Amino acid sequence: METSSYSVFPDSFSVNRVIENPSQENGSPDALGSTPENEGLEIDVLTQIEEVETLLPEWSQLFLVMSGKRKGEPIPPFSHPNVLVEWAVNTPGEVESLFVVTLRSGEKRQLKAVFPGFRRGRKVRLLTDSVTDYQDITAFSQEAAIELMKKVIEISDERGFRLVFQKISDHSLLWNCLRAPNRPVSFVVKRIYGPCPYGDFQIPIGGDFLDSLSKKRRKNYKAACSKIRQGIPHGKLEHLRGKEITKEVIEAVANLHIENQHRKKGKSILAKPSVRNWLCGLTGMGSGLCVSLFWDGENLAAFNLSFIDEERKVFYYYIPAFSFEYAAYSPGTRLLVESMRHFTSSEGGNIRLDLLCGDEAYKRMWSSDCYFVWRVVRFPERVSCTPMYCLYRIGYALKALKNRFKKGVGCLG
């Protein structure tokens, strides 16, 4: 990889910059510590998929190390490097060039942090930001993550790129970096994208998810089962995971979701062949992808496509849908419970149902709390960017006022 200065980047570029004294560079003697391992930090920018695929084994190992160090903190399976790279491989139309930035340290050039980005026009975004409700970086430590983000900002400013982070969770590593006291704070605009409701359920040892439900939720589930038995006598449940999920299943799921969204006058992300190919690619890599389906004969009546994190005991309810003609039977309620019963362990303990971004009524029914995902935009520190930066700030402020007004009217009503 060639070495170049930041001021002469071509449109597709690779960088290898050695930071001789990171403590002086940071303006903080303990920003990354002062151990020999952290001296001589190097920043690389990878723009080609072949470069990133070569990085993948090392990146995946760093992700596992990060997961071990951040026990108890949510790290969704869809932020795994394999999932991100599979998206990049299958969605070339989304990507003008990759913008994967790595931080290395020490004589052995140990990988310390990875920023999984891509460039489209003058914007730098995060891989999978169009298909998942949570994006994050990978890092050995908070300090390494902060150092990486400083360099990402520096590179972006030099090239005049705007950093656009669509959905950043307020418990993510990236969010912590953006809030760190020693980060560059100017020219940043942020607003809440939406809430992510979740519920914690305590499963007794030897029991299942049904045993953790309140009387009201169990009553609703039993009512749905009764309606389905009477109205759909030949209904059949199916639970699939990993390689069990065939291309035909993905196509059936996509067709139902497209139909469902069309009825709501919306667009389905599954309408894109590239997204379906991405999901097919995830089935063979231990991504945690799983699907529950309810069939009426040959007709798919309902499904939910989800991710399960067995280690952290979190079920991410990703994309659900049901056919309108079966709405009276509450197939979504039954399928959600059956999914949790099937994919959660009988060892007992706490299981979290993360319903991801959205404020739909059914999500509120199943949740006890929520976190938020944010949209964050950072403009290059240039005079020419000031007008647009100001417009964004004004626009976000007006939206915030509008939302507060709506909530106030709702309370009065």
301: domain CATH number?
3.40.630.30
Q: Is 273 helix (H, G, I), strand (E, B) or coil?
A: helix
Q: In whole angstroms, give the CA distance from residue 50 to residue 283.
A: 22
- Per cent of the chain over pLDDT 90 is 61
Give the mean model confidence (pLDDT) for residues 89-115. 91
- Answer whether residue 178 is part of any domain: yes
Region 362-390: what's the mean pLDDT? 83
Out of 24-38, 185-199, 271-285, 315-329, which region has the weakest mean confidence (pLDDT)?
A: 24-38
Mean pLDDT confidence for 121-145:
93
Residues 37 and 144 in one domain: yes
Q: Are residues 159 and 247 in the same domain?
A: no
**End-of-domain residue from the set 185, 211, 244:** 185
Q: Give the chain's domain count.
A: 3
Residue 7: both structure tokens together: 């001021």
* pLDDT band of 6, cuts 50, 70, 90: very low
Region 149-172: mean pLDDT is 92
Could you list the residue range(s) of the whole structural domain that residue 36 is in? 6-185
Same domain for 59 and 129? yes
Give domain status of residue 207, yes or no: yes
Of residues 383 and 51, more confidence is placed in 51
pTM equals 0.83
% residues pLDDT > 70 (the chain):
83
Helix-then-strand count for the chain, H and E: 11, 14
Question: Is residue 272 domain-shared with residue 348, that is, in the same domain?
Answer: yes
Angle value at C-alpha 274, between 270 and 278, nearest 5 degrees: 85
* Pairing label, strands 97-105, 110-120: antiparallel
Answer yes or no: is pLDDT of 157 > 70: yes
Give pLDDT, residue 116.
Answer: 97
